[in-house]
């Protein structure tokens, strides 16, 4: 039995992914142009002839389905018959989509099979998440309040172009912008100014001996004027600098200096961008000739981004800051951290900063 398989973890609920699998208009956007066969009701035609791994148009008909968990189609293409099954499994962050095509009649060459599997994987990992993000964006309700991106969005019936939101949405949007502007103005107005620096500094002794009565007596009473105290050298005598004996350092009292360890480097890169999110990599490298120590990479966002599907490091997220930790990397070797980022911005660009052990990462 010859099989082709592909799998992807998605940051979307199963019912939304099911919609993308069964709606012809959405299939047109992420897989291939899909039409209904004129001579066979219930049969679909996928325009896959120009895709890598396909020889001709694929005709398919559904033989079993359990919404929103599984759908199986019988496919016919260039004399070959196969069964194509898509399975959806809920996860903590969304769902996992698994695709399996089993050849029943005919054969695939090694090159054709590899190209076909790659086409499926690219469609699931790149184009499908982009369409799901776009579809979810059409379902965003401005009244969702403080709900984060992990909260399930309200499901609206798909009807092509997004419907206008009317006056209420515009009023809420304008009110939100006003609140942001007012908050920014308040922060600017309350910003503290640095204290004025003067040529003479107050003596620590004089500051320590100032009492409440002295401070009160220095305040002018109503109707009277007070002279501003002059700043002279006699007002704050400087303590004498008498040389004091320093403890002698006997040979062998200080520990011998330790050779510095290799300086670790890191390179940041967005490897897969899409609507409302992207996939990023940080490559940690030990360019020295010795074994490095444990390392820490800190990635800081400037918005409400959240990460998931992390591989290559232990991690934790605290607000806008994500901390990755890992063990020593051998000399001349590297360790790759890969993670997905969910961002509420329509076109996310990346984090505000990235640093390894306090030093900036390259590539950002």
Among 356, 359, 353, residue whose Cα is nearest residue 294: 356
DSSP 209: H
Highest mean pLDDT among 57-66, 157-166, 224-233: 57-66
Q: How far, in Å, CA of 300 to CA of 360, rounded?
A: 11
pLDDT above 90 coverage of the chain, percent: 42
**pLDDT above 90 for 284:** yes
| β partners of residue 295 | 326
User: Tell me: the pLDDT tens digits for 222-247?
Assistant: 444 444 444 444 444 454 454 454 54
pLDDT at 40: 78
**pLDDT above 60 for 5:** yes
pLDDT confidence tier of residue 86, bands split at 50, 70 and 90: very high
pLDDT at 274: 67
Q: How far, in Å, CA of 83 to CA of 133, rounded?
A: 29
Within 13 A of 169's CA, how many CA atoms are on the CB side? 8
Q: How far, in Å, CA of 157 to CA of 135, rounded?
A: 11
Query: Fold match between 2-142 and 265-360?
Result: no
Mean per-residue pLDDT over the chain, rounded: 74
User: Tell me: the pLDDT tens digits for 21-35?
Assistant: 999 888 988 999 999
DSSP 275-291: TTEEEEEEEEE--SSS-
113-122, 194-203, 327-336: segment of lowest average pLDDT: 194-203
pLDDT at 271: 83
Q: How far, in Å, CA of 247 to CA of 236, rounded?
A: 31
**pLDDT above 80 for 73:** yes
304: Cα separation from own chain's centroid: 9
**pLDDT above 50 for 133:** yes
Higher pLDDT, 101 or 202: 101
pLDDT confidence tier of residue 147, bands split at 50, 70 and 90: very low
216: phi then psi, degrees, rounded to nearest 5: -70, -40
**pLDDT above 70 for 268:** yes
User: Tell me: the pLDDT tens digits for 184-229?
Assistant: 444 443 344 444 444 444 444 434 333 444 444 444 444 444 444 4
pLDDT at 289: 78
DSSP 31: T
Highest mean pLDDT among 214-228, 249-263, 304-318, 347-361: 304-318
Q: Give yes or no for a contact between 327 and 294, defined as CB atoms under 8 angstroms apart.
A: yes
pLDDT confidence tier of residue 39, bands split at 50, 70 and 90: confident
33-47, 77-91, 237-251: segment of lowest average pLDDT: 237-251
Domain 2-142 in CATH: superfamily? START domain (3.30.530.20)
pLDDT at 255: 53
Domain ranges of the chain: 2-142, 265-360
Q: How far, in Å, CA of 333 to CA of 291, rounded?
A: 10
Mean pLDDT, range 249-258, rounded to an integer? 51
State the CATH class of domain 265-360. mainly beta
336: phi then psi, degrees, rounded to nearest 5: -105, 125
- DSSP three-state, residue 334: strand
Provide the whole-model pTM: 0.43
Mean pLDDT, range 116-142, rounded to an integer? 84
Total residues belonging to the chain: 364
Q: Give yes or no for a contact between 65 and 42, defined as CB atoms under 8 angstroms apart.
A: no
Q: How far, in Å, CA of 85 to CA of 97, rounded?
A: 10
pLDDT at 311: 92
pLDDT confidence tier of residue 350, bands split at 50, 70 and 90: confident
Higher pLDDT, 205 or 291: 291
């Amino acid at each position: 039995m010859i099989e082709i398989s592909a799998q992807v973890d998605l940051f979307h609920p199963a019912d939304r992914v099911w919609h993308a699998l069964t709606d012809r208009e959405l299939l047109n956007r992420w897989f291939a142009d899909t039409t209904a066969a004129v001579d066979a009701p219930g049969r679909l035609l996928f325009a896959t002839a120009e895709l890598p791994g396909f020889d001709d148009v694929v005709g398919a008909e559904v033989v079993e389905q359990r919404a929103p968990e599984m759908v199986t189609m019988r496919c016919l293409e260039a004399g070959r018959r196969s069964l194509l099954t898509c399975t959806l499994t809920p996860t903590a962050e969304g769902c996992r989509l698994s695709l399996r095509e089993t050849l029943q009649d005919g054969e695939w060459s090694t090159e054709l099979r590899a190209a076909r599997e790659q086409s499926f994987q690219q469609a699931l990992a790149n184009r499908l998440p982009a369409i799901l993000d776009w579809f979810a964006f059409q379902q965003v309700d401005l009244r969702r309040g403080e709900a984060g991106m992990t909260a399930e969005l309200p499901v609206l019936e798909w009807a092509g172009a997004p419907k206008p939101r009317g006056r209420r949405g515009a009023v809420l949007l304008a009110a939100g912008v006003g609140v942001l502007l007012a908050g920014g103005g308040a922060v600017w107005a309350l910003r503290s100014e640095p204290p004025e620096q003067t040529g003479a500094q107050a003596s620590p002794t004089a500051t320590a001996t100032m009492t409440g009565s002295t401070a009160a007596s220095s305040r002018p009473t109503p109707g009277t004027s007070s002279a501003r105290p002059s700043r002279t050298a006699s007002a704050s005598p400087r303590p004498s600098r008498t040389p004091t004996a320093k403890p002698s350092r006997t040979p062998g009292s200080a520990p011998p200096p330790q050779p510095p360890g290799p300086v670790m480097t890191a390179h940041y890169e967005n490897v897969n961008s899409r609507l409302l999110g992207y996939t990023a990599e940080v490559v940690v490298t030990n360019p020295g000739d010795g074994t490095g120590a444990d390392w820490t990479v800190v990635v800081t966002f400037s918005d409400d981004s959240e990460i998931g599907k992390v591989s290559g490091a232990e991690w934790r997220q605290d607000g806008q800051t994500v901390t990755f930790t890992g063990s020593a990397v051998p000399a001349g070797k590297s360790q790759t951290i890969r993670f997905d980022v969910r961002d509420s911005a329509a076109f996310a660009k990346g984090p505000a900063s990235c640093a390894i052990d306090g030093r900036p990462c390259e590539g950002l």
